Structure 1
Amino acid sequence: MRRSTGERKPAWLRSFIPEPNLSHLVTRKCAGCGQYIIEDRENIWQQWDYGIIQGENLTVAVILGRPLTRVTWITAARQPRLTNVCGTAGLKPDGRYLAAHECGRMRISVEPYKPPRRERPPGQPWGGPDLEPDELAEFTRVWNLPCEALRT
């Protein structure tokens, strides 16, 4: 039996990248160095190291001159969207980024991605703004009007 060499696939990548058929992002091993990478197969195929870069690591990535892509989480689709940045233009100090994969170079970060929590659990009331009793009564009155009455 042949033994696999290299690293193990991080468990969080399974939730970060959904089924390959539903996303243009794919996780695979690099043919050159054997490290796991995230491959973006949308327009031009690009390869990214999987560690999330933020905070002080962002400064390190800029100093090393590594190309970066911003990770934006699409809550409705439950998947990430990658947006390339050009040098330091477009960098935000509170953003989350991936660095371009370069064979033979060490990753800047191996920090896992934690998607943002849902704004509210499904089925729970919104809470909304605090309405005065007269504003609530007016809303209820207008809500219960027939459509014909609203057009006039």
Structure 2
Amino acid sequence: MKTKQRASERKPPWLRTFVPKSSPLVVTVCEGCGLYIIQDRENVWESWDYGLVEGDDLTVAIILGRPVTRVTWLPSVGHPLLRSTFGSRGIMPDGQYLARHMCHLARISVKPFKPPRRGRPSGKPWGWPKLSKQEIAEFKRIWDMPYSQLKHEKTPTNHGRPGR
């Protein structure tokens, strides 16, 4: 009977944000060394250390010959996507990466991942076009109109003329 490997470290709390349940990535414990790792189970299963590799840490990873994968944040779905770099190709100095997990070797980094800032501060409007009082009144009139009456209403076009 196979027993589940126990972690030899505490799980960083930011990993729950980085790898939510909806992600094809999985946070698990390495069976060999007992450290937390991120597994990409979408195609070929690959294991990555959870520390974010960038800047000087990226230089260290390249010098040590440790394979890395590029982290691309997908704000529309709220989780990252990992992209292969094929050696030194695809490595950009401003990119964010994860280093391949190699049992019993020290991690390149333990830096937490922070999702990119939103395009606008929370609580601020999206920058809708300014509407005239007439346009707002027309919207309210149509909004309050019963559906049975709305079916027979002619739709104005962008030029202010009735539609077909």
Corresponding residue for 1:81? 81
Long gaps (5+) in structure 2? 1-5, 140-154
Amino acid at match of 2:15: L
Structure 2 Cα separation of the partners of residues 46 and 149 of structure 1: 60
The share of aligned pairs that are identical, in percent, is: 54
1:88, distance to aligned residue in structure 2 (A): 1.0
Q: CA deviation at 1:118?
A: 1.1
Distance in 1 (alpha carbons) for counterparts of 2:49 and 2:99:
6
Whole-angstrom distance in 1 between the partners of 2:18 and 2:67: 21
Per-residue CA distance 1:119-142 (angstroms, 9 max, x = gap): 12466323489x9xxxx99xx8xx
Structure 1: 4+ residue segments shifted above 3 A: 126-129, 148-151
Give the structure 2 partner of residue 90 of structure 1: 90
**In the aligned structure 1, how far is the partner of 2:112 from the partner of 2:71?**
12
The structure with more radius of gyration: 2
Partner of 1:11: 13
The root-mean-square deviation of aligned C-alpha atoms, in Å, is 2.7
- Which residue does 2:111 correspond to in 1? 111
Q: Which runs of 5+ in 1 are unaligned?
A: none
User: 1:126 corresponds to which residue?
Assistant: 126
Corresponding residue pairs, total: 138
Between the aligned partners of 2:63 and 2:82, the Cα distance in structure 1 is 21
The whole-number CA distance in structure 2 between the counterparts of 1:100 and 1:150 is 62
TM-score normalised to structure 1 length: 0.79
User: What residue in structure 1 maps to residue 35 of structure 2?
Assistant: 35
For residues 37-56 of structure 1, the aligned pairs below 5 Å read: 37-56=37-56
Tell me the equivalent position of 1:146. Answer: 156
Residue 99 of structure 1: aligned partner: 99
Q: Indicate how the Cα distance of structure 1 residues 97 and 150 shifts in structure 2: closer, same or farther if over 3 A, else same.
A: farther
8 A Cα contact 2:7 2:36, kept in partner: no
The TM-score with structure 2 as length reference comes to: 0.74
C-alpha displacement of 1:23:
1.7
Over 3 Å counting, the alpha-carbon distance change for 1:13 and 1:94 in structure 2 is: same
Aligned residue type for 1:13 = L
For the residues of structure 2 that align with 1:150 and 1:7, how far apart are their CA atoms? 68
For residues 162 and 25 of structure 2, what CA distance do their matches in structure 1 show? 48
Q: In the aligned structure 2, how far is the partner of 1:121 from the partner of 1:58?
A: 31
Deviations 1:41-81 (A, max 9, x none): 00000000000000001011001111110001111111101
